[in-house]
Structure 1
Amino acid sequence: PYARYPADRLTGTFLRHGPRHRPGTRWHYSNYGVSVLGHALAAATRTPWEDLLTGQVLRPLGLSGTALRAEDEKTDATGHRKDGRTPVPAFDAGGFAAAGAVRSTPHDLLTFLEAHLDPARSPAAGALRAVRVPVLRRGLGHRHVHTVAWFRHPTDGGPMYFHSGATLGQQAFLGFRPDTGTALAAVCTRRFRARDPFIATAYALLAGE
């Protein structure tokens, strides 16, 4: 859905519209907002987004098997529709690359989570700690907390951090629990819809339910 939405169209749309509410008073999950942030960072540093991601995140964390695009089509896992059999083309993020259009190996996903479990051992310690800081609380009793990048839910032993995402043919779930020192990376090449069993199962495993 993003392939025909290049970077200049995305940033142009943002510049032509003003906010509807005072910043910090409303919250919506927004791939668009994160994508605009990526373009803003690239412009401020005068560095292409791919180079910025590689230099500031992938290389410091040792994620050599992660990139914005596959070296060739054969290295992309083939996604499928909800029937689990019909293949779909590889995901093209267009101007939305900063919203999560990376390809990664299972080993790199676990390496990424291990860095979050023990930030002190990472050259990106400051950033890894910063993305745990709550920026918004919502829901009954303000139990649901959002950081810049993670959802944070309470458990009996302390908070757990997680994020999930999907393209038209694949899904992924990443999460970690500092209190138990455990993390979970789950992926599948099938796009579920309503009452998603994949995300619910991954969440329950991490939460210990």
Structure 2
Amino acid sequence: MTGPRSPLVPGSARPLWPGEPSAGEEAPATAPDPAKGVPGARGPAERSLARRLAEAVEAADAPDVVLAVSRHGRRTVMSGGTADRRPLPREALRYEVGSAGKTFTGLLLARLIHRGVLTGGEPAAVLLGAPRPPGAHPVTLAHLITHTSGLPALPPGFLRRALPAWRTNPYARFPAEQVVRAFLSHGPRHRPGTRWCYSNFGVAVLGHALAAATGTPWERLLTDQVLDPLGLTGTTLHADGPGADAPGHTKDGRTPVPAFDAGGFQAAGAVRATPGDLLAFLEAHLDPAAAATSPTLAAALRAVLRPVLRRGLTHRHVHTIAWFRHPTDGGPMYFHSGATLGQQAFLGFRPDTGTALAAVCTRRFRAHDPFVAGAYRLLAEA
């Protein structure tokens, strides 16, 4: 359930919650008109894309690889890998997306805010039944989703409990009640809102706080508010076993690993989905009006494109409440990567070119791994 590795300059985080663009920040571009300038299905652009996708599949050197691209709603899917053929096509299997699943959590929070259920400024400890009122600077839901809560990447005591299952399923040994207890028992390391530190712990706490605030179990909440309204029937938070789920592997690409169990970290990385569902999820961000079944969901899809935080020496690293946002020559691109012990994923889209990319593979991350970097490059150069 890894996250992006980026330099952090202490004190450089500037949260802009509740999500309005900062001074001088351009508004997110809208999706281009699909009727304009779309090349023919067998044109040079499509042939070039297919060639590049095939090269990326081969370079991934994984048992199962799927790269799915949507351009103005027209999809191209390339799959392959070193494993024998599966009973189902690779593009029909569900894949673990790890930390890329945090984009679903961000969209859920945005929808609850636009429905008026929450504001984002609620202290998480209060929602989780803290025995005493929070101090002058409480950790809020906004801090948790933007990784500015001051919480560490993992909760205190995690390594000790997880060590016996470190190479199989470490998160499974830290259940929901342990995550909440660790949060309520240990204060943040830094004043909330002053520093950016990527935290699986923080987003896990957010999930439990949202469930408590709505009185709805996490899986039901995400399904009712995000998955069902977007028609994502191939997305779930638990493994259904061989035949439906793509099996993960270690770095060697041969040794299988158990299906990922997120334990109490469901909101931070439990999502598993088919490439088609992942592409539909991304396409919804490119055209909220067409994809959303309600005004609040459409508003949430637009809201998660708005910059809320900048960091780094040049403030190049821009974040929304769901996505990392980098500049390109034509406009911003939005992305998030993720990994479990046996799989990797990259999700991203570019409103300026109407392009979305979902990339998954069933092999653990290696040093200097070409998979995520190659997927990022494909999207950046789209």
Q: TM-score range by the shorter chain?
A: over 0.9
The equivalent of 2:67 in structure 1 is none
The 5-angstrom pairing of residues 126-145 of structure 1 reads 126-145=299-318
Out of 250, 256, 279, the position equivalent to 1:110 is: 279
Equivalent residue letter for 1:44:
A
1:28–1:168 distance in 2 versus 1, CA, 3 Å = same
Give 3-state SS (helix, strand or coil) of 2:377's partner.
helix
CA RMSD of aligned residues (A): 1.2
Tell me if structure 1 keeps the 8 A contact 2:357–2:379.
Answer: yes
Counterparts of 2:270 and 2:379, CA distance in 1: 24
Out of 328, 331, 336, the position equivalent to 1:163 is: 336
Give 3-state SS (helix, strand or coil) of 2:233's partner.
coil
Equivalent residue letter for 1:145:
V
Give 3-state SS (helix, strand or coil) of 2:281's partner.
helix
The answer to whether structure 1 residue 27 and structure 2 residue 196 are counterparts is: yes
Identity %: 79
The structure whose RCO (Cα within 8 Å, separation 6+) is larger is 2
Q: Which runs of 5+ in 2 are unaligned?
A: 1-169
How much does 1:16 deviate? 0.5
- Structure whose CA Rg is larger: 2
The equivalent of 2:175 in structure 1 is 6
The answer to whether structure 1 residue 189 and structure 2 residue 358 are counterparts is: no
The equivalent of 1:125 in structure 2 is 298
How much does 1:190 deviate? 0.5
Counterparts of 2:359 and 2:240, CA distance in 1: 23
Give 3-state SS (helix, strand or coil) of 2:235's partner.
coil
How much does 1:73 deviate? 4.0
The equivalent of 1:68 in structure 2 is 237
Counterparts of 2:242 and 2:253, CA distance in 1: 20
Residues 85-119 of structure 1: CA deviation (Å, up to 9, x unaligned): 11111001100011121121111011101101111
Task: Please identify runs of 4+ aligned residues in structure 1 that moved more than 2 A.
Answer: 70-74
Normalised to the residue count of structure 2, the TM-score between the two structures is 0.53
Equivalent residue letter for 2:313:
L
Counterparts of 2:191 and 2:307, CA distance in 1: 19
Farther-moved stretch of structure 1 (78-87 vs 138-147): 138-147
The equivalent of 2:212 in structure 1 is 43
Give 3-state SS (helix, strand or coil) of 1:3's partner.
helix
Out of 345, 350, 353, the position equivalent to 1:177 is: 350
The equivalent of 1:150 in structure 2 is 323
Farther-moved stretch of structure 1 (103-112 vs 67-76): 67-76
Equivalent residue letter for 1:109:
L
Counterparts of 2:258 and 2:241, CA distance in 1: 13
Give 3-state SS (helix, strand or coil) of 2:204's partner.
helix
How much does 1:71 deviate? 3.2
How much does 1:126 deviate? 1.1
Residues 181-208 of structure 1: CA deviation (Å, up to 9, x unaligned): 0010000000122222101100000000
The equivalent of 2:144 in structure 1 is none
Q: How many residues align?
A: 209
Counterparts of 1:166 and 1:2, CA distance in 2: 13
Counterparts of 2:375 and 2:253, CA distance in 1: 18
Equivalent residue letter for 2:219:
E
Farther-moved stretch of structure 1 (163-172 vs 95-104): 95-104
The equivalent of 2:253 in structure 1 is 84
Farther-moved stretch of structure 1 (140-149 vs 48-57): 140-149
Q: Which runs of 5+ in 1 are unaligned?
A: none
